[in-house]
Chain A
Amino acid sequence: MSTDPNIGPHRDDPDIINATGEWSLQTAQACIALLEKAPAHVKDIDGREIIRLDSTGAMLLSQLATRTGLALKEIDVRPEHQALMNAVRQLCETPPVKRVKDYGFRKMLERLGFAMEDYAKETLALVGFSGLTLQTTIKTFFQPRRFRATSTFHHMEQVGVDAVPLVLLLSFMVGSVIAFLGSTVLKEFGAEVYVVELVGIAFLREFAVLLTAILLAGRTASAFTAQIGAMQSGEEIDAIRTLGLNPIELLVLPRLFALVLMLPLLTFLAMMAGLAGGMAVCAASLGISPELFTVRLHESISVTHFWVGISKAPIFAVVIALIGCLEGFQVQGTAESVGERTTSSVVQTISLVILLDALAALFFMEMDW
């Protein structure tokens, strides 16, 4: 007896199909080929000479039965295969429906619609969350006892002190790059000395605060989302609620205050480092000594630039803290969701920070500050 699957007319009655060989997943393709050439009408199928049958083979045999008009008749197989054959036969009575996936224009519109709805919901959630946090802040203001100082200091260290080296290094680099950039352009007019104004204004007004905020959006917003998200998926937030504590007061306020305090300080450090970077390049390659640099800085740059820059820091801090925490609260159960929300929180904070910065630039320009 060969192990290849085969069908042929039965020796007793040519109207009965005799199936032989191995009907299994391994021989599935040969079996399908046999199904194609099976006669349209037969009296019965005899599977007693099948030497090996698995669920794939049983499914194909029952398809053969359906094709040959034996929809209701039992197929005889070896006793050890009969249970399998009957079970599969029963399940194959109704053929599965293949849902056609729609990748067309309508699907695109549908996804666009869902995306818009998501945006609207996210915006609404952020506004709601800001209100809730504000309300809790005011409440805590009248009950200072409830303010979590330890937690706040812990977060100040994590988001502020620990970020200092990175902020200093990056600002110094960007400061020197701007000085280089300025000197190449200004050299043509023999006005290299204006590099001081360029670096000064750029850093005090825009770059220090923007750079720090983007850095903290990547470093801190993601950390907030991951921390709170892990707590959410471990049902810790639910535990906090049922113990009669307020998760906003416990988790959000310390993070918010820590960030609002630390971001301006980090911004100040970034300003200093950026100016130092510019000063270093001026001294090294433009022949402007640090003394001259400092004097020019004093003479030609008004302190307004500094105030314009630093005033944006608390606003960015609020944006980063709120989005980071809110996304954490929106985590649903799985570890995958924590990852998705973390990505989303970083993307949202960075885009919102840049958007707000652009609006602020317009505003300050109109105000002539």
Chain B
Amino acid sequence: MNAILNPADIAISVRGLRNTFGEQVVHDNLDLDVRRGEIIGVVGGSGTGKSVLMRSILALRRPQGGHIEVLGLDVYSEDSKARIKIETNTGVLYQNGALFSSLTVEENVAVPLKEHYGALPDKLVHELCMLKIRLSGLPDNAAEKFPSQLSGGMRKRAGIARALALDPALVFLDEPTAGLDPIGAAAFDQLILTLQRALGLTVFLITHDLDTLYTICDRVAVIADKKVLINAPIHEVEKFDHPWVQEYFHGPRGRAAQGAQHLLEK
């Protein structure tokens, strides 16, 4: 469905990214490729710059060096048409949903639609909003509620509904299961998987949740030592010889998640 933008297989390409905060170097010569239609899980210890990487790709932060292309377009280009093309093709779920607190859920979802497709009739906008709200697994009556009236899990679902408003090809999720109970987190993982299959999304997912990595990610990119150490399917990543990777995947939590996955596969 995103064939008209770029026939190439790469959705995001990061080359030689360098991010520094004063003296502190977060990324140095970091390369990363994300393929179209895959769910990539980005992991790394606290402070390794997962969110900084996401913010760089979203052009919310200008890195000290490097080149980033999204859907074949330079994200730092000054060309406003290219910017709009990228922005309407990316949806972001921020950690706490980042819903506009003065608007209802439906109005939140309608914001990008009204901004970019102002000529659409109100009835269609309403129907589209309701479709997105249902797609994200919220009940119809959530549409009229304000973000403050929703639970954490529902806020994230509403955040997804808004991220999907323009049918983006690319979706960024910042720790989608953080702060959810295990049942809610598992349900959210399934939601991401279902949406990705149905809408053909490319998903860039930052997470700490090992279960998420095992259940839904096609590939896992590990950030450590200021670089992407490895970007491969999880079974290859867990064999990678690096102290952090070994401790992460073979610590008690990692083993539990692996065990659960093996059980599921049986």
Contact = CB atoms under 8 A, between A and B. Distances in A.
Chain A contact surface mostly: helix
Contact of A28 (B117, B140, B148): B117
Interface in A21-38: 24-26, 28-29, 32
Given A55-B167, A59-B131, A91-B134, A83 B198 contact: yes
A96 B140 contact: yes
Contact of A334 (B4, B126, B148, B164): B148
Contacts of A83: 197-198, 200
B99 to A, nearest CB: 11
A303 B135 CA distance: 76
A80 B200 contact: yes
Residues of A in contact with B, size category: 20 to 34
A109 interface: no
B1 A52 contact: yes
B121 interface: yes
Interface residues of B, number: 30
Contact of B131 (A26, A29, A80, A88): A88
A52 B3 CA distance: 8
B94 to A, nearest CB: 15
Interface string B122-134: 0010111011101
Contact of A56 (B4, B126, B128, B143): B128
Most interface-central of A53, A86, A98 (chain B CB within 10 A): A98
Contact of B1 (A28, A54, A98): A54
Nearest to B116: A25
A32 B127 CA distance: 13
B139 to A, nearest CB: 11
A363 to B, nearest CB: 44
B8 interface: no
Given A54-B1, A84-B199, A91 B144 contact: no
Contact of A29 (B119, B130, B132, B135): B119
Given A59-B131, A91-B134, A98-B126, A84 B117 contact: no
B126 A96 contact: yes
A91 B1 contact: no
A288 B199 CA distance: 86
Contact of A32 (B1, B102, B121, B148): B121
Contacts of B127: 59, 63, 95-96
Contact of A52 (B4, B120, B166): B4
B130 A96 contact: yes
Among all A-B residue pairs, the 6 with the closest Cβ atoms: A96-B130, A87-B198, A54-B167, A91-B134, A83-B198, A84-B198
Interface of B: 1, 3-4, 101-102, 117, 119-121, 124, 126-128, 130-132, 134-135, 140, 143-144, 148, 164, 166-167, 194, 197-200
Given A25-B117, A25-B166, A59-B127, 10 more contacts: A26-B117, A28-B120, A32-B121, A63-B127, A80-B200, A84-B200, A88-B198, A92-B131, A98-B126, A336-B148
